[in-house]
């Protein structure tokens, strides 16, 4: 079955890491093509730093502002992969870079969050794919060149409801960004 049923919804807020403009152009074009091909929702390229946060938006803004004092982060994708999870049906795998781990540790401390395993990735498609579809896509997309991702901003996003309902509440540019 292609597309997404209405049973897939999230709650709360998410803090996303967002690549710079040059990287966004490549990612958006490829993601838009995939979404159209599989009748799936379009969504902005992002790396979820932490999701489904139930804290008040002002507290989350304060934490994001603190995190934005960090320099930009460069991440080299390690390849395209996917699994049976809707929000990881097809993704760019990313390294467990020390900068990502440090951001999460700071966020965990400032928001008093419990431990949660972290799998850094940038989703390319949210769709219910068959195993065959997923394997063909992984093979084909691993043949493409993927940019070194330069993370230049954080976004606070209201991710309650379905993908079409998500709303960016605020954007914070990292200190090393132009």
Is 3.40.920.10 the CATH number for 13-173? no
pLDDT above 70 covers a percentage of the chain that reads 93
Q: pTM, whole model, 2 decimals?
A: 0.91
pLDDT at residue 4, rounded to an integer: 45
Name the token pair of 43.
């969504």
Asked if 41 and 8 count as a contact pair (C-beta separation under 8 A), the reply is: no
């Amino acid at each position: 079955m292609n597309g997404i049923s209405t049973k897939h919804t999230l709650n709360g807020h998410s803090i996303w890491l967002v690549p710079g403009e040059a990287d966004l152009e490549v990612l958006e074009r490829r993601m838009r093509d995939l979404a159209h091909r599989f009748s799936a929702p379009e969504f902005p390229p992002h790396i979820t730093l932490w999701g489904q946060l139930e804290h008040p938006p002002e507290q989350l803004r304060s934490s994001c502002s603190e995190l934005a004092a960090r320099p930009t982060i460069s991440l080299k994708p390690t390849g395209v992969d996917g699994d049976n999870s809707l929000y990881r049906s097809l993704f760019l795998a990313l390294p467990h870079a020390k900068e990502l781990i440090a951001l999460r540790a700071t966020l965990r401390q400032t928001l008093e969050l419990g431990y949660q395993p972290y799998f850094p990735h940038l989703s390319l498609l949210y769709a219910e794919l068959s195993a065959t579809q997923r394997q063909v896509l992984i093979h084909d997309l691993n043949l493409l060149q993927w940019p070194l991702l330069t993370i230049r901003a954080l976004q606070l996003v209201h991710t309650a409801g379905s993908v079409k309902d998500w709303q960016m509440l605020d954007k914070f540019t990292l200190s090393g960004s132009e």
